[in-house]
Amino acid sequence: MSNENRRIVLKFGSSSLTSPEGGLDRSKIEYFAGEIARLHARGEEQIIVSSGAVAAGFRHIGYKSRPKLLHEKQASAAVGQALLMQAYNEALSRYGIGVAQILLTRSDFSNRKRIQNAWMTMQELIRNRIIPIINENDTVSIDELKFGDNDTLSALVANLVKARLLVIITDTDGIYTDDPRRNPQAERLTRIDEINDYIWSIAGGAGSSVGTGGMRTKIGAASIATRGGIPVFIGSASEEGDIAMAVNGTGKGTYFSTDADSLSMKHQWIGFHSDVKGSIMVDDGAADALLHLGRSLLAAGVIDVTGDFQPGDVVEVVTKDGVTIGRGVVNYASQQLQAVRGLNSDEVMRRVNVTRPEVIHRDEWIAFAAH
């Protein structure tokens, strides 16, 4: 990341913005507005991903507790989103800061043209020092309302805008070796350089009756962001200057480092947003060539083919042990690849009518972590 990059994505969860009974906690939003204004004044470019619409709205409708049925959640979100934006607008206008609402769905990310349009809108808002406030468009979502408690959404946005840091604010001050509410011996991990099986194993379930996610979704978000070259902070903020400290590297939480390069919009689409049409199982040599040697996938390394796909579709690549190691745009139809798997490239070009020998070209490939 360039030293000139001033772009930060801040994610606030429901529990950070609402009271335990539901409804917005104006004092919390005013606190965050002060923290945002502090960063704004020093020239940081901020994009906010904010949960809280369902929690803000359900009591206004008359529900006694957070609804479970999809149409009730959608109605709550429709009411709550207006209340949420009103609260942000009032709190930040005291500092002379304007805000804009952007509602996204997973299908927006799946469509390269639509997400590019959203990106251009964000760019224009940021250029004019307006802070975009992003939430999932819960009122039209047909899959259970969530990317993953907006944690996944915040990671996808951070990759999209090539942020220098993703800051996920939650009610726990970082990742612990065990649940600190139950185990006083639990230790906080201040820095994580690799999201391995141990890190996944210590991620707990949901911690709040207001929100919908727990640490596992936050670690999942960190995995997506760091794969795209975006470092991540997960922690708490409750006192003046806490978010500035998080941005400066001294926050109350856990930092996830990365040495990956930022991803182009095309590779983000391949890796995180595209519809996967099938899978290709490869041998150890092909897996090593894809993951460590920067090579393309050739038919010689293909063991098996699953699904019905055509040239130009996105497929997953898995090892003999069933571990998904990445995704790529395939140059073969599934029937063609099934017919030539294991053969060298010269033989492949004689047997099937394809435009190039590579099954997946390295420029159309994104590697995943082993988990």
Nearest to 4 by CA among 38, 32, 44, 55: 44
Q: Which CATH class is domain 7-266?
A: alpha beta
Annotated binding site: 11, 51, 138, 150, 170-171, 212-218
User: Please, where in the chain does CATH 2.30.130.10 lie?
Assistant: 275-367
Positions of the chain with pLDDT lower than 50, given as ranges: 1-3, 144-145, 205-213, 370-371
C-alpha span between 89 and 85 (Å, rounded): 6
In Å, what is the CA distance from 186 to each residue of 4, 78, 179, 244? 38, 40, 7, 26
CA distance readout (Å), 124 to 95, 229, 247, 296, 316? 21, 23, 23, 37, 35
Query: Which phi and psi angles does 288 have, rounded to 5°?
Result: -65, -40
Per DSSP, 24 falls in state: B
The H or E element spanning position 60 is helix 53-61
Residues of the chain with CATH 3.40.1160.10: 7-266
- Specify the pLDDT at position 113: 85
DSSP code at position 362: E
The answer to whether 312 and 269 are in contact (CB under 8 A) is no
Q: Which pLDDT value is given to residue 12?
A: 95
pLDDT tens per residue across span 288-327: 999 999 899 999 999 999 999 999 999 999 999 999 999 9
> Which residues contribute to the annotated binding site for substrate?
51, 138, 150
pTM over 0.85: no
User: Per DSSP, which regions of the chain are E strands?
Assistant: 7-12, 45-50, 99-104, 131-136, 165-169, 175-176, 188-189, 191-192, 232-236, 252-256, 276-282, 302-307, 314-318, 324-330, 360-367
What is the per-residue pLDDT across 172-229, written as a single tens digit (0 to 9) for each? Answer: 899 998 888 888 888 999 999 988 888 888 875 444 433 334 788 899 899 889 988 9
Beta-bridged to residue 232, according to DSSP, are 166, 256
**Structural contact between residues 202 and 10, judged by C-beta atoms closer than 8 angstroms:** no
Q: 275-367 belongs to which homologous superfamily? A: PUA domain (2.30.130.10)
Cite the annotated binding site for ATP by residue number: 11, 170-171, 212-218
Task: Give residue 71's pLDDT.
Answer: 86
